[in-house]
Amino acid sequence: DIVVTQSPDSLAVSLGERATINCKSSQSVSHSSCNGNCLAWYQQKPGQPPKMLIYWASTREFGVPDRFVGSGSGTDFTLTISSLQAEDVAVYYCQQFIDSPPRFTFGPGTTVDIK
Amino acid sequence: QVQLQQSGPGLVKPSQTLSLTCVISGDSIFNNNVAWNWIRQSPSRGLEWLGRTYYRSKWYNDYAISVKSRMTINPDTSQNHFSLQLNSVTPADTAVYYCARGKDSGFDSWGQGTLVTVSS
């Protein structure tokens, strides 16, 4: 099974500063069916379901602010929030969806807070 | 804009069956480009994909190994909804359960979530 890990577990960033979250997959998630990489990023606020932010590792979902940037390939990925806003306080998850039979494993999450 | 509305009991006794329904609006359960999924979230297990149903000229199901022997997902084509049944539940099945639409890009639409507690 593909294992997905994230770092750090949590981080606190000043408003307007950059937040960087790392995601690592135990196996490559590169595949042509995913326009490159079968990896997505989600944001979850308290009491709400996760919301997709980024898919195929670097494509923003419709309506997601451009301060959210996904990058990486193969086994190593990054979500960057270029200028943290108060409404970005949340837990962020990465998720792979390449395996067959499917497991669709999520990372453990990274909590982002205001310093 | 697709919307998923979940319903079902929030309390289930140990050894009984957990049943949830997810009503789809703004999309068809027959959509050949998506799958209809159940995912749960708990402090101990995090976000855990449970299974899916999808239509590609006929109906298919996939289940996570951890629940495969206890779980059934059924599409209801007349009501445009799908359901989850998880048998022989234990307190370890206590979690928030979500339905979600899956595409080749990930899970792009989610239900509101249902907290299910397994307790006598």
Q: How large a percentage of chain A has pLDDT more than 90?
A: 89
Contacts of B104 in chain A (CB under 8 A): 33-34, 97
B5 CB near a chain A CB, below 8 Å?
no
Helix (H) or strand (E) holding B76, with range, is strand B71-76
Predicted local confidence at residue A100, as pLDDT: 82
**A93 against B104, higher pLDDT:** A93
Segment A14-26, tens digit of pLDDT: 999 999 999 999 9
Predicted local confidence at residue B89, as pLDDT: 98
B112 to A59: CB separation less than 8 angstroms, yes or no: no
Segment B60-108, tens digit of pLDDT: 999 999 999 999 999 999 999 999 999 999 999 999 999 999 999 999 9
A67 CB near a chain B CB, below 8 Å?
no
What rounded mean pLDDT belongs to chain A?
A: 96
Rounded to whole angstroms, how far apart are CA atoms A9 and A108? 8
| Region of A9 on the Ramachandran plot (φ > 0 left; ψ -120 to 50 alpha; else beta) | alpha
A4 CB near a chain B CB, below 8 Å?
no
B110 to A50: CB separation less than 8 angstroms, yes or no: yes
Segment A18-49, tens digit of pLDDT: 999 999 999 999 998 888 899 999 999 999 99
Burial category of A59 from C-beta neighbours within 10 Å (exposed 0-12, middle 13-18, buried 19 and up)? middle
Rounded to whole angstroms, how far apart are CA atoms B90 and B46? 17
Instruction: Please report the sign of the dihedral spanned by the C-alpha atoms of residue A47, residue B46, residue A92, residue B36.
Output: negative
A49 to B110: CB separation less than 8 angstroms, yes or no: yes
